Amino acid sequence: MKASPQLSASLEDYLEAIFHIERDKHAARAKDIVERLGVHNSSVTQALRSLSDKGLVNYAPYDLITLTDEGRVAAADVVDRHQSLRTFLIEVLGLGAQQAEKDACKLEHAISHEVLDRLRLLMDYRDNHPAEVITWSETQGSFGPGRES
C-alpha cells in the first residue's frame, strides 16, 4: 500500500471534517467545511487545493468535494485516532466528554502509532479483566478500583 503523504494538523482536520460531512451528506461543499471548522472561505479553498494536489480529495471550485480512496484511508486514520483517544480520556482518565473531545482533537495529530497501539492494548486489557481495572476517581482525586465485574 502506498504511504500516506505527511499532513499538517490543519490538513488532517480538513480531512476529518470532509469525512464526517461526506458520511452525513455523501459529499461536502466548501460552506459545510466553513461551518464545521469555523474557518474562512479562503482557508478552505487553500486547504482543498493542497489536499487535491496530494490526491486526497476530488475538488473543483463551486463543485462537490469528495475524498479519494487514498483520502478516505487517511481521513479514517485520523478519525480512528481521535475516537480511540477520546475513549481513553473518558474511560481511563475520567475526563468529561467535552474536555475529552477537545484534548483528543489536539492529541490525534501528535501521537505516534506505537503509543496509540499501546493505549488500545491497555483498553483491551481493561475490557477483558474488569476485576483488575483501575480508573480515575473524581471523588478520590486519584486512581483506584474501576468498574464492577
pLDDT tens column, 138-147: 777 666 676 5
- Please tell me whether residues 44 and 92 are part of one structural domain: no
Could you say which of 74, 101, 122 is where a domain stops? 74
- Please tell me whether residues 70 and 92 are part of one structural domain: no
Instruction: Identify which of 51, 53, 33, 49 has the alpha carbon closest to the alpha carbon of residue 41.
Output: 33
The SS3 of residue 66 is strand
- Please tell me whether residues 87 and 132 are part of one structural domain: yes
Tens digit of pLDDT for each residue in 31-80? 999 999 999 999 999 999 999 999 999 999 989 999 999 999 999 999 99
The answer to whether 18 and 28 are in contact (CB under 8 A) is yes
Please, is 110 exposed, middle or buried when counting C-beta atoms within 10 Å of its C-beta (0-12, 13-18, 19+)? exposed
Domain span at 91: 80-142
Report the share of the chain in percent with pLDDT over 70: 87
Asked if residue 101 is part of any domain, the answer here is yes
- Please tell me whether residues 94 and 42 are part of one structural domain: no
- Please tell me whether residues 87 and 120 are part of one structural domain: yes
| Residue 10 CB neighbours (<10 A) | 15
Could you say which of 46, 74, 102 is where a domain stops? 74
Sign of dihedral through CA atoms 123, 128, 130, 134? negative
Domain total of the chain: 2
- Please tell me whether residues 59 and 29 are part of one structural domain: yes
- Res. 102: pLDDT tops 80: yes
Asked if residue 122 is part of any domain, the answer here is yes
